[in-house]
Amino acid sequence: MPTLPQLSSITFPAAAGAAVPCPICATETVLHDVVDFNKNCEEARQHFLPLSGRPVYYHRCPECAFVLAPEFRHWSDQDFQDHIYNEQYIEIDPDYVSKRPMHNAAFLRQLFDRARTEIRHLDYGGGSGVLSNALKEQGWHSTTYDPFPRNAQRLADLGKFNLISVFEVFEHVPDVTELMSNLSALMEDECLVIFSTLLTDGNIKPNTRLTWWYASPRNGHISLFSRQSLVQLAKQHELQYGSFNGGTHCLFNRLPDWASKLLTPQKN
C-alpha cells in the first residue's frame, strides 16, 4: 500500500459549526455535514483510502444551495500541493493526465472545429497543456493557462479570448470570486466560456448525510454548485448562463456568430 501524505502541518478546526457567509449570495450558510479528508471520487469505483482521522466540514447555503468547505480558503498553494495535488493524486483521479483532456478536446472540436480559424481559445486550468496541444495539432489557435500553483505567468499578459474552456476547475477553487474575476478579465466583448462541474441539485439535500461521491475533499472538490448558484454567479458578472446537461455548462456576454449558430443555451 502506498504511503499516504501526512496532514499534521494542516490545522483543521475541531468544530466548524460557525456560520460563514455564502461567497455567491452572502446568505449565512449552515453546517451540512462532516466527512473524512480521504473521502475521494474513486469510491464510486470501490477504491477507498484509509480514514485519515481529519474532519472536513461542508456548509450549505439555504438560499442558493451552494456548498463549500470553508477551511480550504485558508490553505496556501503549498498546502494544496503537499496534501491534495501530490504524487498520490493520480490514484483518486486517474483520468486527469490525458484521458479527460483528450476527451474534452474532442468535444470542443465536435462543437466548433468548422469555426476554428475564427476562434482564439484559452484552456483555463489546463495543467500541462494536453487539451490545448491537441487542438493546436488540428490548426486551432489555443493557449493554456493554469493559475495553480501561482507562477510567473501573468494573467494580464495572456490577452483576451472568444472561447474559454474551464474543465474540472470550478469545484476545485477555494475562491469563487477570484475565478469569476479572472474569467471576466480574459473575455473578449463576444466570448463563450464552456465549463464542467456536476450540480448539487438532487444530490445534496437539507437534513441528509453527504454521501454524494463528487463531494470529495481528497480530490480537492471543495466548491459545489447548484444550478441556482451558477445563475446568480453569472448575473453578478453580467453574464448569461446556459447548460448542455447536468455536468457541462456555459457562460457568455454576447455570443460570437460561430457560437450562436451551434448553441441554443438556456437564457435566464
Cell numbers 454521501: residue: 211
CB 55 within 8 A of CB 72: no
pTM summary value: 0.91
pLDDT at position 95: 95
Predicted confidence (pLDDT) at residue 17 exceeds the cutoff of 70: no
Cα separation of 257 and 47, whole Å?
45
Q: What is the pLDDT of residues 64-93, one digit of tens each?
A: 999 999 999 999 999 999 999 999 999 999
Domains and CATH numbers, the chain: 99-200+230-260 (3.40.50.150)
Q: What is the pLDDT of residues 170-226, one digit of tens each?
A: 999 999 999 999 999 999 999 999 999 999 999 999 999 999 999 999 999 999 999
CB atoms within 10 A of CB 131: 27
pLDDT at position 148: 84
162: Cβ contacts below 8 Å, ≥ 6 apart: 118, 119, 120, 121, 188, 190, 191, 192, 256
